[in-house]
Amino acid sequence: MECPKRGPKRRAVEHAQTNARDALGRRLAERSTQATLLDGVARVFGLPAAPRRIEIYDTSHIQGAFPVGAMVVAGPEGFQRNAYRRFHIRDPEAAGDDYAMLRETFTRRFHRSSAAGRDSGPDSAQWPDLVLIDGGLGQLNAVKDELAMLQITDIPLVAIAKGPDRNAGRERFFRPGQPPLTLEPNDPVLHFLQRLRDEAHRTAIDSHRARRMKAMSHSRIDGIPGIGPARRKALLHHFGSAAAVASAGLKDLEATPGISEAIARKLYEHFHG
């Protein structure tokens, strides 16, 4: 039977393939200890020892809006969620530019460290043994150049890019000055690296979504005269969202704890004219 080329049937097949791949990855990973997987990472990328701290980076935005960078951390104990960091991209010219967003993320992560002085810096105990970047050769070069400007040239860098047609299982790994590397589809190390990449991707998307939702929650009532942080908090707590505040009737607004009749009327007139 021929595989469907487009439409809902193709998406259903891709979904089934993803589920099957994830199930296979879980089974393979369960058979391998974390130490064995880290030994495999060292072997694949030619590291001198199994990495104790891997930092994985990704960025997220929608047409340049609410851009974020994300760093997740993994090691012998698995994911170290208390070490994750999220970066709201500050440079308006970087928004929507994946390379510029990565450069800002790495500058802010490493700006207090250098090849000469990192041993005494605030991140000295948290120096990565390997940096994994979600992307291809362009992302790798952007990060390498940014770190070079910070005089950091000895962190092993690897970019993980999906294969043709963004086909998971055919990832290519890019390293500075070396040809692209591929792993066998059933290699447990590949599935481990996919899990690392997917966790960074999920964290970046969640951070972007949280930033966007926060802006949406506050934008409709921010700037209304007489509505400061305390009243805004009371309104959002009472109604659940800024949209519900905007559609509320006068009596409902007056019934909100902490909102006087005068403020309630001002709100109602603001949204209803």
> Where is 193: in which H helix or E strand?
helix 188-219
- Do residue 265 and residue 178 come from a single domain? no
Q: What is the pLDDT of residues 167-212, one digit of tens each?
A: 566 899 999 999 999 999 999 999 999 999 999 999 988 877 777 7
Q: Is the pLDDT of residue 250 over 80?
A: yes
pLDDT of amino acid 88 = 85
User: Are 24 and 133 within 8 A, CB to CB?
Assistant: no
pLDDT of amino acid 82 = 94
- Count: domains in the chain: 3
Query: Which CATH number characterizes residue 226's domain?
Result: 1.10.150.20
User: 31 falls in which pLDDT band (50, 70, 90)?
Assistant: low
Residue among 264, 198, 180, 174 at smallest CA distance from 227: 264
- Do residue 16 and residue 104 come from a single domain? no
Q: What is the pLDDT of residues 69-125, one digit of tens each?
A: 899 999 998 999 999 999 988 888 887 788 999 999 999 999 866 544 455 444 455
- Do residue 212 and residue 229 come from a single domain? no
Residue 192 buriedness (CB in 10 A; 0-12 / 13-18 / 19+): buried
Q: What is the pLDDT of residues 222-240, one digit of tens each?
A: 667 778 888 888 888 888 8
Q: Which residues does 100 contact at the CB level (< 8 Å), separation at least 6?
A: 91, 93, 94, 142
Query: Which CATH number characterizes residue 126's domain?
Result: 3.30.420.340
> Would you say the pTM of this structure is higher than 0.75?
no
- Do residue 224 and residue 260 come from a single domain? yes
- Do residue 182 and residue 259 come from a single domain? no
Q: Is the pLDDT of residue 215 over 90?
A: no
Question: Taking all residues of the chain, what is their mean pLDDT, rounded to a whole number?
Answer: 83
- Do residue 103 and residue 234 come from a single domain? no
- Do residue 129 and residue 247 come from a single domain? no
- Do residue 134 and residue 178 come from a single domain? yes
Domain with 63, as residue range(s), is: 34-216
User: Are 194 and 168 within 8 A, CB to CB?
Assistant: yes
pLDDT of amino acid 120 = 43
- Do residue 266 and residue 162 come from a single domain? no
